Amino acid sequence: MNAPLELSLTGRLAALIAAKPIGETDYRTAALFTLDALANALAGRNTTPGGILLDWAAAEPLTTGREALLLGGLTHILEVDDLHRASVVHPGCVVVPAAYALARRRNIGGRAFLAAILRGFEACCRVGMAVGPAHYRIWHNTATCGPFGSAYAAGDLLGLDHAAMTHALGNAGTQSSGLWQFLETGAMSKHLHAGRAAEAGLLAADLAARGFSGPPKILEGEKGFFRATCADPVPERLLGEPDAPWQLVQTSIKPWPSCRHTHPTIDAGLKIAAQVGNRSVERIEVQTYQAALDVCDRIAPQSEYEAKFSLQHTAAAAIHDGKVDFASFDAPARARLSEAASRVVIAAEEPYRSSYPRAWGARVTARLGDGSSIVAERTHAFGDPENPLDDAAMRAKARMLLEFGGVQKPDSFIDAVLALADDGPLPALPGLTE
């Protein structure tokens, strides 16, 4: 059995991740990303889908797998969780819930917990970078690639050896699923994608720890993941640049609660808003990359969730309101901004088209009533590694989410999560696990 495990892409991925060194800055960055994910989970309770998930969880005893599913679903609801550009995966909503649920069960905290987070991010992001662009047109990468990350994180906490970790990843991959069809109606399935991906990886690792085998060639096999779901896979990206920084530190943090594809447009739009003054805006033109249009071309969104996936609505909100927050997507905001959104024209243009997914950029032009124009361009949106939120901004974002979720002492929780980098204990989640 050793030879196929070593020769398979899955086995080689497991070995690559296990060999990567972790530095002091990596631990501290991992604590910030963990804070972001857990704050999102606590905030997600204060939503309609969150209430449904909580009602479901309360109906039966909360097992470790069900807890991972619950936390994963809650983390992904508000559309303000992290995003890894090159893989188009939201790793935090899958990896952190699975690791948290298992670490609570086994009383693991501190740097061992953060190491598992780093390694889990690495697994799902590397798989996501290898699936190719066509996969994303039908499959939701967070749902399909996420189980590899949750399985690795859980396997790391369980102390799996190389063979068992390869089996865990194989069984994670065979559970991969999650389709974009939910966008047609704004259905809540996207939250289920994150929750099930967290649960699936945890199950895969738990079974592997008991000797349950998985297919070592789950990725490249004749009946494997790439063959089944990827029209144009790029397998060499799975193992490329093994000495690169951890994928976690190359992941973006979202400052606004909408699809990340809208963020370069929002960022440029907010810059324009600061220059418009009292002048009227007659037309807004957005030039960006094709994937943004594929997912977010929605000129008249009919729900809060559809508005979060609308370049037209978010461009109008940024320029006409000069801010984008949770209230930017509710029914009054959609009604107020509908006429302005109808005058937003979007197109996929260079250099943004060919730069994606390495860079997610946009150029926004506001045509004003006096005949003049204001143009703003973003190669990298706010929150990308090239344009990051600093520690103070990360704390401020977490505080906003925790207050939205009804947490009474947000700063105490923030301090406790960040103390994981100093090998502190895993904190309870106020109102969820305390």
pLDDT tens per residue, the chain (434 residues)?
444 666 899 999 999 999 999 999 999 999 999 999 999 999 999 999 999 999 999 999 999 999 999 999 999 999 999 999 999 999 999 999 999 999 999 999 999 999 999 999 999 999 999 999 999 999 999 999 999 999 999 999 999 999 999 999 999 999 999 999 998 888 999 999 999 999 999 999 999 999 999 999 999 999 999 999 999 999 999 999 999 999 999 999 999 999 999 999 999 999 999 999 999 999 999 999 999 999 999 999 999 989 999 999 999 999 999 999 999 999 999 999 999 999 999 999 999 999 998 899 999 999 999 999 999 999 999 999 999 999 999 999 999 999 999 999 999 999 999 999 999 999 999 999 87
Identify the pLDDT of residue 329.
Answer: 96
What's the first-to-final CA gap in the chain, in angstroms? 44
Integer Cα distance of 376 and 378 in angstroms? 7
Residue-by-residue DSSP string for 146-174:
HHHHHHHHHHHHHT--HHHHHHHHHHHHT
- 294 exposure class (CB count in 10 Å sphere: 0-12, 13-18, 19+): middle
Confidence at residue 3, expressed as pLDDT on a 0 to 100 scale: 46
Bridge partners for 368 per DSSP: 281
Distance CA 318, CA 308 (A): 12
- Token readout for 266 is 């929002």
91 contacts 121 by C-beta, under 8 angstroms: yes
What CA–CA distance (Å, rounded) separates 90 from 129? 12
Please, are residues 92 and 81 in contact by the beta-carbon 8 Å criterion? yes
Helix %, strand %, coil % for the chain, to 5? 60, 5, 35
Contacts of 287 (CB under 8 A, 6+ apart): 346, 347, 348, 349, 352, 362, 363, 364, 365
Q: Give ranges for CATH 3.30.1330.120 in the chain.
A: 260-378
Map tokens 């690495």 to a residue: 122
Q: What CATH number labels 260-378?
A: 3.30.1330.120
Question: Which helix (H) or strand (E) segment is 292 a member of?
Answer: helix 290-296
CB distance 92 to 33 below 8 Å: yes
**By C-alpha distance, which of 177, 173, 167 is closest to 148?**
173
Which amino acid, residue 191? H
258: its two tokens: 């909408």
pLDDT at 1: 43
Domain with CATH 1.10.4100.10 in the chain: 2-255+388-422
Q: Are 96 and 34 in contact (CB under 8 A)?
A: yes
Instruction: Tell the CATH topology of 2-255+388-422.
Output: 2-methylcitrate dehydratase PrpD (1.10.4100)
412 Cβ partners below 8 Å, 6+ apart? none
What is the reported pTM? 0.92
Q: Which amino acid is at 242?
A: P
CB 191, CB 53: distance < 8 Å = yes
What is the per-residue pLDDT for 4?
Answer: 60
Q: Where are the alpha helices (DSSP H) in 277-372?
A: 290-296, 304-308, 311-321, 331-341, 352-355
Peptide bond into 430 cis (omega under 30): no
* Pairing outcome for strands 362-368 and 281-288: antiparallel
Residue 358 is predicted with a pLDDT of 87
